[in-house]
Structure 1
Amino acid sequence: MSRTWLHRWQLKTAAGVTRICGRLFSANGDRYDLVVIGGGSGGLACAKEAAGLGAQVAVLDYVVPSVQGSSWGLGGTCVNVGCIPKKLMHHAALLGEGIRDSRSYGWKVEEERPELVWSQLLSTVQGHIKSLNWGHRVQLKDKNVTYLNAKGKLLDRHTISALNMKGEVTEVKASNIVLATGTRPKIPDIPGAAEHCITSDDLFMLRKPPGKTLVVGASYVGLECAGFLTGLGFDTSLLIRSIPLRGFDQDMARLIVRNMERHGTVVHHNSIPVKVERLDDGRLDVVWQHTNQNEGGLERGVFQDVFDTVLVATGRGPDSKALGLDAVSVETDVESGKVIVDERDETTVPHIFCIGDAADGRPELTPVAIKAGKLLSRRLFGNSTHNMDYNNIPTTVFTPMEYGCVGLSTEKAINQFGSENIETYHAFYHPLELTIPPERENQLEDHYIKTVCVREGNDDRVVGIHFLGPNAGEVIQGFAVAMRAPGGLPMSQITSTIGIHPTNAEEVVKLYITKSSGRDPVVTGC
């Protein structure tokens, strides 16, 4: 008799009483083996995996509308206001640029500059999102997972208060509770920001074109939004307080911003917003200040301009207080508010777990939350002991020139191994397909690749791969597999690999110039 079959049989016997991990709970009424608070990618993956292993599972999901009133369906940030609509709008921007490039390849395009119909783009994107919302509902039903459109709050370590849209409150009991509520955008504490600015929670639902837009913040969210808005034809400006893409490799971050400027985004470096006011005609008057007040401007580093839309992307945070964590002594990080967890994703309170963006010290990435959720359910209900490995996780920033990476940044590698033990192989290259259109000439210089290595004997061990260029995510995904090889990835393994020609990815396996050599890293094709 298999363990899975036996476990399912146990759940259906003993007069409706279930034994999970040595604890007795009734399988009748509002009592479950697992309750997941949060219907995002991680929470749904955790719930479906547990149900597939025979557990009785419920998911509570409730979207608190944004400050501007935006709300959405089941699926969390990624599906509704994150990865999916972002990638679709990024692709739409690339298509517009591709149409313009096509003239150089002999295509006859009537319009000098293709015009975007915002309402059609919005309808297409939202239509796809709604299909995903419905798909998640169907999958939960197929897995016999109870779905409650209610806001969950902990009353004790096994009891949850569920508040639905009608204001009705019910109590739900669970032997195990998983917090998977993710994060929401933070609104900067400046006059007019909360009243007049939007966030990424609102951008993908704007009923009218954003027009002239100011994006505040240089996180990956800010850079991605500014990038595709520029590509879609909107006059877009970006305020950067200090460094872009904090936590990412800064060589790559600087090149991304430089490319965005060449791409058409107006970038204001070392700048912070001071106030936002709505004018009589509906536009927004914005005042910002240069952090170096010796700069010019209206008065000692103060600047002003008028915009149709102001999007703030100044960080995200969890709504820890709404979960009632204090009532059950679940500890959170003082600064971030994120839930403190151990290597098993368990909080400071037994039987209460946290996965995804709301957990402290975890990468804020959808695939990470999904994998962590599945592994957690397997440990709880499938006799697994396999914990999530948070090392060498790949990711991509979908700016106009995409940036994909896996492993350590230069800064983190130096901090971990010491600068004297680090060697970097790098190259500037020109994507073949972009060398034909003359409009692309000033953008070619920023395409860059590097591997960050630790010197080890006669070979170098790769601890980070960074790629700037077309389809960066597709390129890095394959190299990420190699990075997880037992014993690590020797640089010789990369350079001994035959490239696929002509591709951009082959430039990675052709790397041979080291930073320490001082040689010009610009390379040419065959």
Structure 2
Amino acid sequence: MAALYRSRHRWKRINWSHVLTRNFTGNYDYDTVVIGGGSGGLACSKEAAQLGQKVAVLDHVEPSLRGTKWGLGGTCVNVGCIPKKLMHQAALLGTAVKDAKKYGWQLPGPISHDWLTMAEAVQNHVRSLNWGHRVQLQDKKVKYLNMRGSVADEHTVKALSKTGKTMTLTAKNIVIATGGRPKIPTDIPGAMEHGITSDDIFWLKESPGKTLVVGASYVALECAGFLTGIGLDTTVMVRSIALRGFDQQIAGLVTDYMESYGTKFAFRCVPKRVDKLPSGALKVTWSDALTGQEHNDTYDTMLWAVGRAPETKALGLDNLGVQLNKETGKIIVGVDESTSVPNIYALGDISQGRPELTPTAVKSGKLLARRLAGHSKELMNYDNVPTTVFTPLEYGCVGLSEEEAEVRHGRDNIEVYHAFYKPLEFTVAERDASQCYIKVICQRDGDQKILGLHFTGPNAGEVTQGFSMGLQCGATYSHLLGTVGIHPTCAEEITKINITKRSGLDATVTGC
């Protein structure tokens, strides 16, 4: 559509559709350019587009050291939550098959697991999610560029394709959501040459066989758990403590259960070198911190799970003065996800002090998009974010650990209610339930506001999710006791919890 307008006594022809676009985006190509196509970046870009903004997303996956690569969707979809939970489910089914005999199922012959069948099914599902994300971006008119992005200034992004093609995009706002990648030690001979990470384990074409998992993070324990569950000889090497940052009493229960489940643990041990033998096996040498002695053993696979590093090095942030945490390399952000440079924002795992969790990245991304579009001023609430560790005995939690509660409020100012319980489904199967445990941490005075809730047992994520809303609403111990449980469930035991640690009484649940 064209029209005429008068300026300084001259008549000129103008394309009004072009003017409307320029007025909306200002002097920039886009309102928002997002660098990173993971959970947070995709959520932010799609929300912004739905609010009428012109948006582009840049996503590029650098292959792992083993050459593993994947499609759109980030860590969670490709090498995290989704394949992890599916392989965890494979392990749970193995346990269920064993339990089935006690429930009367007649199973002919011994059972075994086929890695390739599981891996292909999981990988096909992941690929369907990759495709789905691309379709969603297209439907919402978000420009998707399979290119590596770097920031030239507060309004300019440089894009580089794998073929060397370059492109410049300008935007009113730039959002960085590039997440992180697993670390591999550089000071251990053979570590990088012969080890794999969580970037690789889910895309292996054949069984990893006898596996050494180095690390004690939730990633390490989850991987070790499902590998044990599908019948593989698995050892976890722990330098100091397991599940750092989580409640340590619960962490002990989780590892105790895993040991009884068949996972081996080498506590207070540090790998020294990794050598590949002519047979193809890996000879791993490590030292025992308690005795100072060296030991070695052979494994088919060595999986490093010693933490993650933020993907900030290739973004060009140093030249712009974007403030980073010197120890972690993560971007320092404000309560509104803003960085130290105007018009540049960061969200998700790359941000300092934020939970490395998909749901927080998704929600914060959506809220950021709404604020940038001028539709809201709501900030992300990072308090009482629930999470679950999908180990063989699942661990769900929300709020403070007992250690954190003591630091913040003082030991004498908190009350810890706890219970050991036995899931009904464990009874006929004659499974050990000695690590099935509930802990509810409350303020000791007043209404006894709940500060933290911890649960180990079947379906821990499903149990914890509902109670987390209660904590967001300021739930108290009285509210908990006033809640009617669903019988017979594991979750109902939380509503009946009444023994305090302070009392010293036996916390084992008996009967209804």
TM-score normalised by structure 2 residue count: 0.95
Percent of residue pairs identical: 55
Structure 1 unpaired stretches of 5+: 1-10, 294-299
Q: Work out which of the residue numbers 112, 117, 122 in structure 2 matches 1:125.
A: 122
Q: Work out which of the residue numbers 143, 146, 157 in structure 2 matches 1:146.
A: 143
Q: Work out which of the residue numbers 462, 465, 470 in structure 2 matches 1:477.
A: 465
Distance 1:437 1:319 in 2: 46
**Structure 1 segments of 4+ aligned residues over 4 angstroms from their partners:** none
1:134 aligns with 2:126: no
Distance 2:93 2:218 in 1: 21
Distance 2:62 2:323 in 1: 23
> What does residue 281 of structure 2 align with?
283
Please tell me the residue identity of whatever aligns with 1:135. Answer: G
> What does residue 39 of structure 2 align with?
41
Deviation of 1:382 after TM superposition, in Å, equals 3.7
> What does residue 8 of structure 2 align with?
none
Distance 1:348 1:135 in 2: 35
For 2:433, what is the secondary structure of its paired residue?
helix
Distance 2:217 2:125 in 1: 26
The 8 Å contact of residues 217 and 312 in structure 1, kept in 2 or not, is answered as yes
Q: Work out which of the residue numbers 513, 521, 524 in structure 1 matches 2:499.
A: 513
Please tell me the residue identity of whatever aligns with 2:385. Answer: I
Q: Work out which of the residue numbers 201, 206, 209 in structure 2 matches 1:208.
A: 206
For 1:127, what is the secondary structure of its paired residue?
helix
Structure 1 residues 185-200: aligned runs within 5 Å = 185-189=182-186, 190-200=188-198
Distance 1:97 1:525 in 2: 26
Structure 2 unpaired stretches of 5+: 1-15
Question: How many residue pairs align between the two structures?
Answer: 496
Distance 2:293 2:374 in 1: 61
Distance 1:213 1:435 in 2: 32
1:444 aligns with 2:430: no
The 8 Å contact of residues 425 and 511 in structure 1, kept in 2 or not, is answered as yes
The 8 Å contact of residues 181 and 358 in structure 1, kept in 2 or not, is answered as yes
Deviation of 1:498 after TM superposition, in Å, equals 1.3
The 8 Å contact of residues 182 and 198 in structure 2, kept in 1 or not, is answered as yes
For 1:311, what is the secondary structure of its paired residue?
strand
Distance 2:340 2:17 in 1: 31
Deviation of 1:157 after TM superposition, in Å, equals 1.1
The 8 Å contact of residues 58 and 145 in structure 2, kept in 1 or not, is answered as yes
Q: Work out which of the residue numbers 19, 39, 49 in structure 2 matches 1:14.
A: 19
Distance 1:448 1:309 in 2: 33
For 1:123, what is the secondary structure of its paired residue?
helix
Please tell me the residue identity of whatever aligns with 2:249. Answer: D
Distance 2:342 2:485 in 1: 51
Distance 2:123 2:277 in 1: 30
Q: Which moved more, 1:146-155 or 1:494-503?
A: 494-503
For 2:449, what is the secondary structure of its paired residue?
strand
Please tell me the residue identity of whatever aligns with 2:496. Answer: K
The 8 Å contact of residues 247 and 401 in structure 2, kept in 1 or not, is answered as yes
Coordinate RMSD, CA, aligned: 1.1
For 2:106, what is the secondary structure of its paired residue?
coil
Measured at CA, do residues 382 and 13 of structure 1 come closer, stay the same or move farther in structure 2, by a change above 3 Å?
Answer: farther
1:314 aligns with 2:306: yes
Distance 2:148 2:273 in 1: 34
Distance 2:185 2:195 in 1: 10
> What does residue 221 of structure 1 align with?
219
Deviation of 1:15 after TM superposition, in Å, equals 4.9
For 2:87, what is the secondary structure of its paired residue?
helix
For 1:456, what is the secondary structure of its paired residue?
coil
1:353 aligns with 2:374: no
> What does residue 268 of structure 2 align with?
270
TM-score normalised by structure 1 residue count: 0.93
> What does residue 412 of structure 2 align with?
420
